[in-house]
Amino acid sequence: MNSTDSETPDKSLYTTSQIITYMGNKRKLLPIIENVVIDIQKELGNKPLKIGEGFSGSGVVSRILKTNAAELYTNDLAGYSTTLNRCYLDNPTENTQKMIKKHIDKANQLAEKNESKEIGDGWISKHWSPSGPTIKDDERVYFTDTNGKRIDSMRNYIETIPKKYQPYVLAPLLVECSIHNNTNGQFSSYYKGMYGGKTQTDTKRITQKIHIPYPIFYDSPCNHHVSQMDTNEWAKKMGNKTELDIVYYDPPYNKHPYNIYYFLLDIINDWDKSQEIPNTYRGQPDTRVKSLYNSITHAKNTMLDLINNTRAKYILLSYNDGGIIPIAELDTLLENTDREITKIPIEHKTYNRLKGLSNYKRTSEYKNVKEFLYVIKRK
């Protein structure tokens, strides 16, 4: 079902389709997070909820939050995440959807027309895909030569359309670029010299032509607000603006910043051809900013600053037991915020709404658990 259908698509389709391939993706947590949100709403007297998400990433959690919120505030420092949220969290009018379809059809037509031609102002085809069907030793192979040209054609066209329509055409293009590439799912490396590497892994996915689908929307009475800034600063800004009922945080938990793994999505999103492309393996511009959450020295204080400056009745926090902050130290840090802490193990679908939050009070030890969802209630 696409955006031009008269009926609202099924919620499960909306929360599982057209989502970028993403490390740390919280798709497996969606039922748990949603059930916790439903229980919190009951505790708050079934009032309409103001909800926020500070590290939105792929936007998949924000989609499920949208289906439960009256007001939704999302934030991420990455430009591609901002574009995804501006598209998929929106409720465009019928007339706007007609214009979206028109521009997507045109972008796809241009891609078909130009895929066998030399793109004069090529950007992806120049730096991140081979120059032809035969891959040369010194060429980066993130995309096929055909898809490199298709991306260039479509992205160049998107730059020419009115800005208000751009996110709706660009977001589904980003999703397709995250799928049909010559990598194992992220852009820190690619299969060198051939598609799928020596074992020719997953060549059908890699070589399939990139085609922009119509975005899937979910029409719900939810006002959404999208920000692109440092999350700790966002929390302070939101605190000065309004009190939220629930905020969900999924901060970086190891020393590797996500912008290494997804830099090409930002390249395609930003389309800044003035950037200098270094003669390196990835060809990643030297614009990386390492998050304080990736720092052993600063992660704990940064986390404490975030919790203390979040003005919300409830904070939901995901964290991995292999993270920079050891779980025991995170437990202590959260206890010292003088809030009521509930700790839910999420290795499997362990949260049971029939039990409710009270069964997960921090009185148990959990073994072999990869991740936890903390429910942090203001006293």
Main-chain phi, psi angles of 225, to 5 degrees: -135, 125
Domain stop point among 146, 178, 207: 207
132 and 68 belong to one structural domain: no
Terminal Cα-to-Cα distance of the chain (whole angstroms)? 44
Same domain for 242 and 117: no
Residues 101, 86 within the same domain: no
Question: Quick count: other Cβ atoms within 10 Å of Cβ 184?
Answer: 14
pLDDT digits (tens, 9 = 90+) for 257-302: 888 899 999 999 999 999 999 999 999 998 777 899 999 999 999 9
Where do the DSSP E strands lie in 126-243?
223-227
What span, in angstroms and rounded, lies between the C-alpha atoms of 63 and 302?
27
- Asked whether residue 238 falls in the same domain as residue 189, the answer is no
Amino acid at 12: S
How many helices and strands (H and E) does the chain possess? Answer: 14, 7
Length of the chain in terms of residues written: 379
Average pLDDT over residues 219-229: 95
Q: Are residues 84 and 112 in the same domain?
A: no
7: region left, alpha or beta (phi > 0 left; psi from -120 to 50 alpha)? beta
Taking the CB of residue 156, how many other CB atoms lie within 10 A of it? 19
For the chain, the farthest-separated pair of C-alpha atoms sits apart, in whole angstroms, at 65
- Residue 161 has a pLDDT of 98
Tell me how crowded residue 354 is: count the other CB atoms within 10 A of its CB: 6
Q: Are 183 and 227 members of one domain?
A: no
Question: Per the domain annotation, does 105 fall within a domain?
Answer: yes
The pLDDT of residue 15 is above 70: yes
Collapsed DSSP state (helix, strand, coil) of residue 246: strand
| Residue 350: other Cβ atoms inside 10 A | 14
> Would 273 be classed as within a structural domain?
no
Q: Cα–Cα distances in Å, from 39 out to 43, 304, 306, 375?
A: 6, 26, 24, 11
Same-domain check for residues 147 and 223 = no
pLDDT tens sequence across 174-207: 999 999 999 998 999 999 999 998 899 899 999 9
The dihedral of CA 360, 365, 368, 371: what is its sign? positive
Highest mean pLDDT among 234-243, 255-264, 346-355: 234-243
Residue 363 lies in a domain: yes
Which range marks the domain in which residue 117 is found?
95-207
Number of domains in the chain: 2
Residue 160 CB partners (closer than 8 Å, separation 6+): none
Residue 235: which CATH number? 3.40.50.150
Model pLDDT, residue 120: 76
pLDDT band at 121 (very low <50, low <70, confident <90, very high): confident
Residue 267 lies in a domain: no
Model confidence at 139: pLDDT above 80: yes
Same domain, yes or no: 170 and 188? yes
